Structure 1
């Protein structure tokens, strides 16, 4: 009897320990919140981060950044929220600290944010960039349209459970350049892994929705936000007839090397995002994906 009591005690203590670990806060390096943001730079970063196509219901005639259409995933249907400067329906009442916490740590005023919002990638941005985006969003025209509530069933609708997901899969940090590669290559890698979050869509996910380590950019055949995504590794792109110039070109106009046109979710990404990047950024992304310095 005494042995069973000891075993039960160990199980209870172990369970408490696991619970404490899984619920502990997950935060990255502290940011400098005294920086003054530049709304013009921030407006470009909004395009670089593909915020417009997700947070705008284009097919429904919604105002820019006033909330997106349905984003269907294996875990339920999500609706990108209104991120205009409206103080009630949007994020106009948010402080820079609250916005930074959402971007950097996946934590909003209402609690943990679902990783369908790619904070795993946005956390790589610099302190100045976060301040710039905040300034740009606070300068948007306010829209009073309330966004729809997520349609997510149990247990995925329990936001506290996201603390465990973060402890298992999320490691917030800032981007660090690789000195063994060129500035252009590093810029491309930063966009792909950071604000452009190409890796978030074009990588396979495990049963809990986390990217499978070591398989980044190898495609997401199971489908995620926006549907299935093809591989965009150097090997896959080369096989598809791409070179640096054609990758940069397709990010601008959507035309593939075989004269097809990219539509669907990628078409929206190009129209609202990458077509409005600088030529230098498109070439940087193309160079990184094609493995060229």
Structure 2
């Protein structure tokens, strides 16, 4: 009986410790203090992070790309996630959010209400965003229109609908460490920030394990295309093992959408190219320089 009692006490302590470790961990309340956002810089952050690519309404035309009403569907092995309204509507969007609220969502995966967010929002990558960039993005978002479309609930079942479990997921996969470490040139360093943080390229181009975490031992080595229900389509390997283009060819592709073989970009990558075409050409060159530093994975 004493052994059983001690065992139960140990289980209780372990459960309490696990619960504490998996609680949402927002930023300190003063994290954004002293940061003044700039809308011009924020527009560049908006395009580099691809906000419109996911949060415009399904079928929206180019003229409506800045109406961030949400509703696009993203299939995954864990269910289908629907992009929320992040327009400036105060009732159904994020019009009442502070810069700190935005930073908590993007870098910590914590909602304004203090709940874990699902990593369909790529906070596993955005965790590396500079808070100044978040402040700039916040100011730019405030300049965009409001839309009253309510956000739709995700279509996910048990046990993936238990948000507390996401605390354990974060313990395993949420990190500020760079996938490509070491001394980089200033251009390569900018490219790393664009690829690993802002552009969240690894979210699509890196294989995932059974729990949905990116397998960083195969960084950018290609993965299944979750949007293809047949399971046949692949997101390509863009490590030097398979991407043989020169830096100039990569940079030109990022700006124009044309490959060295005169093929043109398609699928989700078309959104990425459209976004990078709005950024300085130096950013595309930085991405190209970084990709040449990525370890080759067959």
**2:141 matches 1:134:** no
List per-residue Cα deviations over 1:236-275 (Å, max 9, x = no partner). 101xxx111111111122222222222111122222x122
| Alignment match, 1:38 | 38
State the TM-score, normalizing by the size of structure 2.
0.86
Quote how far apart the aligned CAs of 1:176 are: 12
**Distance in 1 of aligned mates of 2:227 and 2:57:** 15
CA contact (8 A) 2:89 2:95 kept: yes
How far 1:187 moved relative to its partner?
Answer: 0.4
State the partner residue of 2:49. Answer: 49
Give distance in 1, aligned partners of 2:175 and 2:55.
Answer: 25
Question: Is 1:289 the equivalent of 2:291?
Answer: yes
In the alignment, structure 2 segments of 5+ residues that lack a partner are: none
CA RMSD of aligned residues (A): 2.5
Q: Distance in 2 between matches of 1:9 and 1:128?
A: 46
Corresponding position of 2:85: 82
What is the alpha-carbon distance in structure 2 between the residues aligned to residue 137 and residue 14 of structure 1? 43
Cα distance in 2 between the residues matched to 1:260 and 1:177: 29
TM-score, normalised relative to structure 1: 0.88
2:236 to 212, 230, 239: 230
Alignment CA distance shift 1:178-1:18 (3 Å): closer
- In the other structure, the counterpart of 2:195 is 192
Partner of residue 150, structure 1: 154
Aligned length: 285
Q: Is 1:217–2:220 an aligned residue pair? A: yes
Q: Say if 2:50 and 2:199, in contact at 8 Å, map to a contact too.
A: yes
Query: In 1, are the aligned partners of 2:252 and 2:258 still within 8 Å (CA)?
Result: yes
Residue 105 of structure 1 corresponds to which residue in structure 2?
108
**Alpha-carbon separation, structure 2, partners of 1:186 and 1:253:** 23
Matches within 5 A, 1:172-191: 172=176, 180-191=183-194
Q: What are the Cα deviations for residues 55-87 of structure 1, in whole angstroms up to 9, with x where unaligned?
A: 112525565322141111111111111111111
Is 190-199 or 66-75 further displaced after alignment? 66-75
Q: C-alpha deviations, 1:84-135, integer Å up to 9, x for none?
A: 1111121001112211111221101241111111112222122211110000
Equivalent residue of 1:280, what SS?
A: helix
